[in-house]
């Protein structure tokens, strides 16, 4: 090992704002103002600056910009699991909306792992995110106290710490789920199972509760052995379905807390030779893209990723630019999308089935 420092400053021409200034024969202040479209710069000078910028191929340094201005221009987005298709769809929407509003995004996937989550939060802090959307659907909020304490605008889904500057995206699980249960009830189902998400997730508890509530509304008795906990993954769906199949008396329909679970259920049903929807009706939740092409196409409850993304960015932006700590709530609604994984229960008037 030589003593040479392994870092070589100025490996090439500096290509900074100074070189642009020199070439355009103006001060660096003018270059900065031009780039930031400050209206007071003379049009002629501005043109000269832009020319210089293009000729030199100059690109401003974001880090320096952030440092100088005190604004990072970044919004954090924390999701639970990037490999669950729901989230990439959400990320895409969030990114689009964020960019429209002049922000860039910083994605963090927690994988339901508290350790990873800590790393994520640290990263958001270190990078000075101006606002953070926590779309993990209810994972341990206390971890996010650090962000709240530092007065970073936050948006949670469903529930979050009750603090100024923390807004909420209230998802109306009730509506979609009621529609789902009513749909099943209308078809004649009285034996309806439910596979929840991990019960430590707020959203999973909400969905579960909404299901029970809807069941009662329809005058259908809940059967605890048909109400099993999943984990929002394919494998979780399969395992949960196995549990349900072990019951002496089986439900004629199963509602799932998300589509991945439902796809697992579809798979397990296929494995044991149960035909969907003839022998078993299945309803998913989220309405991911894949739901359109499962076999059979999945009846699912849609929660719009775009709405979620729009509301989140909007909430954050309001906090950031308007200042103040609104602590608002935004409603996100959900509704049933009927496809082909639901039908009359076995035996009941199956000959009436049309189309």
Partner DNA sequence: ATCCACAAAGAAAACGCTTTCTCTTGGAGC
Partner DNA sequence: GCTCCAAGAGAAAGCGTTTTCTTTGTGGAT
Contact, 158 vs 170, CB < 8 A? yes
Contact, 312 vs 155, CB < 8 A? yes
Does 61 sit near DNA (CB under 7 A)? yes
Give residues 286-345 in contact with DNA (rule: CB under 7 A): none
12 vs 115 by CB, closer to DNA:
12
- Among DNA, its own copies, none, residue 350 binds (CB under 5-8 Å by kind): none
Tally of residues, the chain: 355
| Alpha-carbon span 164 to 323, nearest angstrom | 11
Applying CB under 8 A, the residues found at the interface with its own copies are: 6-7, 9, 11-12, 57, 59-64, 66-67, 69-72, 82-83, 85, 87-89, 91-92, 95, 99, 104, 107, 109, 119, 122-123, 125-128, 146, 149-151, 234, 238, 263-264, 266-267, 270, 289-290, 292-297, 321, 323
Shortest distance, position 157 Cβ to DNA, whole Å: 31
Element (H, E) at 158: none
Shortest distance, position 62 Cβ to its own copies, whole Å: 4
Strands (E), the chain: 74-79, 104-109, 131-135, 154-157, 166-172, 192-196, 227-229, 253-256, 281-286, 299-303, 329-337
Contact, 343 vs 187, CB < 8 A? yes
255 vs 35, 180, 248, 279, CA distance in Å? 54, 8, 19, 14
**Phi, psi values for residue 336, rounded to 5°:** -75, 140
- Among DNA, its own copies, none, residue 27 binds (CB under 5-8 Å by kind): DNA
Binding range to DNA, per CB under 7 A, among 11-19, 83-91, 235-243, 281-289? 11-19
Shortest distance, position 26 Cβ to its own copies, whole Å: 22
Among 3, 10, 37, 115, indicate the residue that binds DNA (CB under 7 A).
10
Shortest distance, position 57 Cβ to its own copies, whole Å: 8
- Among DNA, its own copies, none, residue 42 binds (CB under 5-8 Å by kind): DNA
């Amino acid at each position: 090992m030589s003593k040479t420092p392994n870092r070589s400053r100025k490996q090439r021409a500096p290509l900074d704002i100074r070189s642009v200034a020199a070439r355009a024969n103006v001060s660096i202040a003018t270059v900065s103002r031009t780039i930031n479209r400050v209206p007071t710069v003379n049009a002629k000078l501005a043109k000269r600056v832009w020319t210089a910028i293009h000729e030199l191929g100059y690109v401003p340094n974001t880090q320096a910009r952030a440092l100088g201005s005190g604004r990072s221009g970044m919004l954090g987005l924390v999701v639970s699991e990037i490999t669950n298709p729901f989230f990439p769809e959400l990320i895409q929407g969030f990114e689009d909306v964020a960019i429209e509003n002049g922000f860039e995004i910083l994605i963090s996937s927690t994988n339901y792992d508290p350790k990873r989550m800590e790393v994520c939060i640290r990263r958001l802090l270190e990078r000075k995110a101006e606002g953070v959307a926590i779309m993990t659907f209810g994972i341990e909020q206390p971890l996010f106290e650090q962000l709240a304490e530092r007065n970073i605008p936050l948006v949670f889904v469903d529930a979050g710490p009750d603090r100024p500057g923390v807004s909420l995206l209230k998802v109306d699980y009730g509506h979609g789920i009621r529609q789902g249960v009513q749909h099943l009830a209308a078809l004649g189902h009285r034996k309806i199972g439910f596979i929840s998400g991990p019960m430590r997730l707020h959203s999973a508890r909400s969905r579960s509760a909404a299901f029970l509530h809807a069941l009662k509304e329809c005058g259908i008795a809940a059967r605890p052995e048909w109400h099993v906990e999943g984990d929002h993954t394919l494998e979780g769906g399969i395992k949960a379905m196995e549990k349900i199949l072990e019951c002496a008396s089986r439900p004629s329909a199963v509602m799932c807390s998300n589509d991945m679970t439902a796809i697992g259920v579809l798979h397990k049903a296929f494995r044991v030779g149960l035909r969907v929807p003839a022998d078993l009706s299945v309803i998913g939740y989220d309405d991911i893209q894949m739901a359109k092409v499962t076999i059979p196409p999945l009846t699912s409850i849609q929660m719009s990723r775009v709405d979620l993304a729009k509301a989140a960015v909007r909430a954050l932006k309001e906090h950031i630019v308007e200042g103040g700590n609104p602590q608002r709530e935004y409603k996100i609604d959900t509704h049933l999308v009927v496809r082909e994984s639901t039908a009359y229960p076995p035996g009941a008037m199956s000959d009436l089935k049309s189309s």
